[in-house]
Structures are given as structure tokens and as C-alpha cells.
């Protein structure tokens, strides 16, 4: 019954374009106070009826010279700063001014955030990102020159990593080019080694970011059509490019078995092409596969 209910929740969330997420657990018997501007913002957004009870104490971050106060609740997050205030539920990524194509990857048990480049994020969007990603990582898949021309913001408690991939709209390149495969493998290994939140981006957040997320979805047993739908949510994405990507895996890593993944050839591509160990694959499944 528990497994069935979990599947129904994920199915509903996916239909809404989101993934059901779980709030950080509160320590047994611990009660956290809600005070000041956080309390006022919490009440104005619906209070306990919408967000539930606090599961952590209020935290303070210094972002772009301003103090940001945020607190996690059972169903979402409340943020307040002198710039503005924001609340969001755990089932959605908050919108970010100055950033495009931001969302949560569909169908995973733990959120992977994805977007286009971050350098034009407004001051308040940076504050939201700092709250969203605190204790986690930003993974940038752009080339060195592109990253230098449009620098990611520095956020407190957030570590930045860059793994250079070819700036192309041809997903086949990401299967056939050794340097792209190495970058994909390194990025996925970094995700496996990260226990905090993860945001992956490139320029548009479409092809390089999309490729990484497609592989992650396939590792976790996602069916092909769900993965296709997720890829096509990005502006400019084409179904023909998705099909060419699958055909390239089949051609370059032929295998008539799925090995527990969603598509024949993916296991060989992930292990031989990207160099992921079985231990890394197991870690990714444990964290992101829906029970």
C-alpha cells in the first residue's frame, strides 16, 4: 500500500509538471519557534494549513550584502529579506527573475534543480538561490570561455563545479565525443557524492543540462516517454533530437538488455562510455529512484 500511494503521489506531481518532495525531517520531539518577519510571511501565505509546522530553526545568510532569513516547514520554505519575501512549496522550484527554464526534473524522489545560466539573476533571485541550494552545489556544464563571460553568482554555503561540454544542439555529440562523455561522467559522479541540493545548468538549460538529466532519469528506470516529455519542456527542444540521441546510444553501445535501466544500451553507455562505477550507480538509484 505504501509503495502504491508513493507512486500515485509521483504520478500526480509529474502530471502537474513537478515532483513530490520530502521536507527535511525534524528531530524527534523538537519544536522550532517561528518569529518576526518569517512569522508574518508564513501567516500571510496560509500558515500551518499550507506549510505545516517548522522542521528547522530559522537560518540567516549573507547574500549580495544583505541578510536573508529562511526557515523550512513540513511542506515548504519561507524566506524574508529587506529586498522582498517569498514562500514556495516543496513540490515546486521558485521562479527566478533573470534566469530562464528553471524547474525541477520530473519523476525523481529527491529534487534535481535545472535552469539556464545564472549570471543575470537579480539580487533577490540570488537570495532565493542561496536559500534553495544552501549546503549543496551548482554544476555548470558550459565551456570555460562561456563561464568566464557570464559568471555564476557566489552564494554562501554553495559550492560551484564546472565540467565543460560542447556547446551544441546535437545530442549525438554527447554520446560520441570523448571529452563530453568525460564531463558527463564527472558531473554525475559529483551528484552522487553530494548529499545536499543540486542545480545543474548550461546556457539555455536545454541540451547539455537535458542530456545529464535524461541519463539520470534512465539510470533510475524512468520510461522513455516520460524522459522525452521532460526534455521537450525546454524551449527549442525537438523530438527528433531526442530520437537521434537514443539511436546513437543503440548504435555505439549495442546491448539487448536493459540491466534494470529504461533503455537497452544505457547501462553500457553509462559504465563504459561515462565511466560510472556500479557503486556510483547504486548511490544514484538509492537517492533518486522512486520506491
pLDDT band at residue 29 using 50, 70 and 90 as cut-offs: low
What is the pLDDT, as a whole number, of residue 28? 58
CA distance linking residue 263 with residue 195, whole number of Å? 27
In 150-206, which ranges are E strands?
Answer: 159-162, 198-201
Average pLDDT of 113-123? Answer: 97
d(CA 69, CA 56): 12
CA atoms of 236 and 204, how far apart (whole Å): 9
Q: Which residue has the higher pLDDT, 206 or 168?
A: 206
Q: Is the pLDDT of residue 17 over 90?
A: no
**Which residue from 137, 138, 165 is spatially nearest to 152, judged by alpha carbons?**
138
Full-model pTM: 0.88
Torsion angle of the four alpha carbons 199, 203, 206, 211, in this order, in degrees rounded to the nearest 10: -70
As a CATH number, domain 93-288 is 3.90.190.10
Give pLDDT, residue 261: 86
Q: Which of 168-172, 192-196, 283-287 is predicted with the least confidence, judged by mean pLDDT?
A: 168-172
pLDDT band at residue 15 using 50, 70 and 90 as cut-offs: very low
Residue 226 CA to chain centroid, in angstroms? 16
What value does the mean pLDDT take over residues 230-250? 94
Average pLDDT value for the chain: 90
Write down the domain spans for the chain. Answer: 22-90, 93-288
Alpha carbon distances (Å) from 170 to 174, 176, 211, 247: 8, 11, 10, 13
Residue in this structure with the C-alpha cell 526534473, named with its chain if needed: 105
List pLDDT tens digits, range 54-97. Answer: 999 999 999 988 999 999 999 999 999 999 999 999 888 999 99
Q: Which residues contact 163 (CB under 8 A, 6 or more apart)?
A: 139, 140, 141, 183, 184, 186, 187, 190
| Contact predicate 79/132, CB 8 Å | no
Using alpha carbons, select from 230, 238, 192 the residue that is nearest to residue 210: 230
Strands 198-201 and 59-63: unpaired
Give the other-Cβ count within 10 Å of 237's Cβ. 20
CA distance 147 to 119: 9
Backbone angles phi, psi at 4, to 5 degrees: -65, -45
What is the pLDDT confidence band of residue 241, given thresholds at 50, 70 and 90?
very high
Mean pLDDT lowest among 28-37, 219-228, 236-245? 28-37
**Mean pLDDT, rounded, for 250-275:** 91
Q: Return d(Cα 187, Cα 96) in angstroms, integer.
A: 24
Please state, in angstroms and rounded to a whole number, the distance separating the CA atoms of residues 232 and 245: 13
* Higher pLDDT among residues 127 and 4, named by residue: 127
Whole-angstrom distance, CA of residue 205 vs CA of residue 198:
14
Amino acid at each position: 500500500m505504501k509503495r502504491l500511494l508513493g507512486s500515485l503521489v509521483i504520478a500526480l506531481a509529474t502530471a502537474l509538471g513537478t515532483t513530490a518532495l520530502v521536507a527535511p525531517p525534524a528531530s524527534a520531539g523538537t519544536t522550532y519557534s517561528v518569529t518576526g518577519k518569517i512569522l508574518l510571511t508564513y501567516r500571510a501565505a496560509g500558515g500551518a494549513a499550507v506549510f505545516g509546522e517548522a522542521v528547522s530553526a530559522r537560518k540567516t545568510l549573507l547574500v549580495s550584502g544583505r541578510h536573508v532569513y529562511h526557515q523550512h516547514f513540513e511542506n515548504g520554505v519561507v524566506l524574508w529579506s529587506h529586498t522582498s519575501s517569498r514562500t514556495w512549496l516543496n513540490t515546486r522550484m521558485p521562479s527566478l527573475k533573470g534566469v530562464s527554464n528553471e524547474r525541477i526534473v520530473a519523476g525523481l524522489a529527491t529534487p534535481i534543480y535545472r535552469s539556464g545560466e545564472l549570471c543575470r539573476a537579480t539580487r533577490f533571485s540570488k537570495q532565493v538561490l542561496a536559500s534553495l541550494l544552501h549546503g549543496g552545489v551548482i554544476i555548470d556544464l558550459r565551456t570555460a570561455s562561456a563561464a568566464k563571460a557570464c559568471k555564476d553568482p557566489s552564494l554562501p554555503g554553495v559550492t560551484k563545479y564546472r565540467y565543460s561540454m560542447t556547446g551544441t544542439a546535437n545530442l549525438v555529440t554527447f554520446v560520441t565525443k570523448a571529452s563530453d562523455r568525460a564531463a558527463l561522467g564527472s558531473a554525475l559522479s559529483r551528484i552522487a557524492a553530494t548529499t545536499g541540493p543540486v542545480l545543474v545548468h548550461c546556457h539555455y538549460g536545454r541540451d547539455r543540462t537535458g542530456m545529464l538529466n535524461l541519463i539520470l532519469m534512465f539510470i533510475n528506470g524512468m520510461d522513455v516517454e516520460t524522459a522525452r516529455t521532460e526534455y521537450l519542456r525546454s524551449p527549442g527542444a525537438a523530438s527528433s533530437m531526442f530520437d537521434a540521441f537514443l539511436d546513437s546510444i543503440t548504435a555505439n553501445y549495442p546491448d539487448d538488455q536493459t540491466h534494470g535501466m529504461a533503455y537497452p544500451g544505457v547501462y553500457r553507455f553509462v559504465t563504459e562510455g561515462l565511466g560510472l562505477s556500479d557503486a556510483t550507480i547504486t548511490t544514484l538509484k538509492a537517492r533518486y529512484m522512486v520506491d
